[in-house]
Amino acid sequence: MNITIIGAGQGISLGVAKKFGSKGYKTNLISRSESQLIELVNTLKKEGIDADFAIADASNASSLQNALHQLRDRNGHSDMILYNAAALDIKDFLDQEWSTYQSTLNVNVGGAFHLLKTVLPFCIQNDSGKLFFTGGGLAFQGNKDWTTLSVGKAALRNLIQAAQEKVKDSGIHIAQLTVCGYVNPKDEKYSPEAIANQYWKLFNQKKGEFELEVTY
């Protein structure tokens, strides 16, 4: 049993890794930073959680595909894949350059698209699979300083809805957890642990009870 987390970091990703790891799932981690991945794996192993990693730039299709294939070859197919990668630049939108939007969209939406292109055909062939995505409340409301992220989350939400339509009534569970607050370890609702619990609930839903979006 194993899961894969794309965009691994100290926040939601680590919370999800610990939650699923405590239930006996091995965690495969993907991000661009080898040093961060090694640190995360060591943290998990100290808690008795088996973990592996592969380095990839989620915005690059071949890089992400190679990482997914490496982990699959070593550990088998994942029971769940979480896309948790995000990129942003906090600045008044009139002071931004379009190139910044392009680079952040390549992560916020492009990586999710590359993931779907890579694994969804296999899921459709086998009528199974759980693909989850971390959305954000900024998808519902533009923000003059966080526009790169609000535009990215809005586009991600639309992409995931399209993927959900494609697999409607199948055994494939595609869901997005739209987090409407700032992740904070001290916040009872928005701590990584609390958010991880929401993913665990989604993971355990059976066909016929799949939730497509949890606004949290």
Enumerate domains of the chain plus CATH numbers: 2-215 (3.40.50.720)
Decide the pairing of beta strands 51-55 and 80-83.
unpaired
CA 5 – CA 125 distance, rounded (Å): 22
| Confidence at residue 68, expressed as pLDDT on a 0 to 100 scale | 97
Q: What is the pLDDT of residue 156?
A: 98
- The two tokens of residue 86 are 């995000």
Q: Which of 23, 198, 11 is nearest to 3 (CA)?
A: 23
Q: Which of 62, 58, 3 is nearest to 33 (CA)?
A: 58
Q: How far apart are CA 174 and CA 160, in angstroms?
A: 8
116-160 pLDDT, tens digit per residue, is 999 999 999 999 999 999 999 999 999 999 999 999 999 999 999
At residue 201, the pLDDT reads: 98
CB 163 within 8 Å of CB 190: no
Give the pLDDT confidence of 37-85 residue by residue, as tens digits. 999 999 999 999 999 999 999 999 999 999 999 999 999 999 999 999 9
pTM for the structure as a whole: 0.95
